Amino acid sequence: MSDTALVIMVRYPEKGKTKTRLAHSIGDEATLGLYQAFLTDLAQHFVGWKYDLYWAYTPDDIDFSPFAATLAPSYASTMCSFPQRGPDLGTRLHQVFLFLRAQQYQNIIVIGSDSPHIRRSTILQAQQALASADVVLGPAEDGGYYLIAMRESYDVFSDIPMSTNVVLQLTIEKAQHQGLSVHLLESLFDVDELPELLRLAELLRVENTRAPATAMYLAHLESELL
C-alpha cells in the first residue's frame, strides 16, 4: 500500500449522459467514444505507478469495476473503485477525502476526468507540495480546478457553487479563512466544449504521447467533425 491515493472522479460512460455540453457539438456517439478514450489514457498513464489508483464513480448504482478493468486489463487487480456519495459535487469531493483518510492515506490527490493530457509530473508536484501546504490546487483555466490534494479531510467544499468561474477563488478563500495554507500548481484546461476539444486536438498533434488513445480517436474523427 502506498502512502498516497490518486483518485479520478469519473462518470460511467453512457450515451446521452456523458459530457452533454460537448455532445451538442459533436454528437452523443462521438462524445461517448471520446470520453472512453479519456479514461483509457488516464488509466494507462497512472495505474501501476507509484500511487494507489482509485476511481470514484457516478452513478452509484452500477458495478464500475468490470468497466475499469477494460481500460488497463493488465493492471485490473490493482485498481480500486468506490461510488461517489452526496447530492452535489462539493459533498462528493469531501466524502472522497473522508473515505480515503479513514483508510490511513497520508496524501490524497483527486483529479477530474476532463483533462486526459495531465502529466505525471503534475501529480508528483502535488504530492511534494503537500509536505508544506495544507491544500494543493491545480487551477483550471475556466475558473475551477482540475486537481485538489490534501493530507486531511478539510471542508473546503461547502457552499462553493461548483461548475462556475469562481470555484477556485472561493475555495482558496475558504481554505485561508480556516487558517490553511494553499499551494497552486500550473494551470491546465479542461475539455468541456468544442473550443477546448479543438485545442486538445492541436496539442496532441504535437505531443500525442500526452494522451495516446485520445490522440488516436481524435485523428479518426478529425476529417468528419473537426
- Residues composing the chain: 226
pLDDT (average), residues 5-34: 95
Partnered with residue 36 across adjacent β-strands are none
50 occurs within a structural domain: yes
pLDDT (average), residues 11-21: 94
192 occurs within a structural domain: yes
**CA dihedral for 13, 113, 75, 208, sign (positive or negative):** positive
180 occurs within a structural domain: yes
pLDDT the model gives residue 170: 97
pLDDT the model gives residue 163: 86
123 occurs within a structural domain: yes
Residue-wise pLDDT tens digits, 86-123: 999 999 999 999 999 999 999 999 999 999 999 999 99
Residue-wise pLDDT tens digits, 160-198: 999 899 999 999 999 999 999 999 999 999 999 999 999
CA atoms within 13 A on the CB side of 52: 16
pLDDT the model gives residue 186: 96
Question: Cell numbers at residue 192, please?
Answer: 468541456
Q: How deeply is 28 buried, as exposed, middle or buried, from its count of CB atoms within 10 A (0-12, 13-18, 19+)?
A: middle
Enclosing domain of residue 140: 4-221
108 occurs within a structural domain: yes
Question: Cell numbers at residue 35, please?
Answer: 470520453
39 occurs within a structural domain: yes
Residue-wise pLDDT tens digits, 27-52: 999 999 999 999 999 999 999 898 99
CATH number at 197 reads 3.90.550.10
| Neighbouring C-beta atoms of residue 20, cutoff 10 Å | 11
8 occurs within a structural domain: yes
Residue 226 pLDDT > 70, yes or no?
Answer: no
Band of residue 222 on the pLDDT scale cut at 50, 70, 90: confident
**Total count of domains within the chain:** 1
226 occurs within a structural domain: no
pLDDT the model gives residue 223: 65
Picking from 167, 130, 162, the residue whose alpha carbon sits closest to that of residue 149 is 130
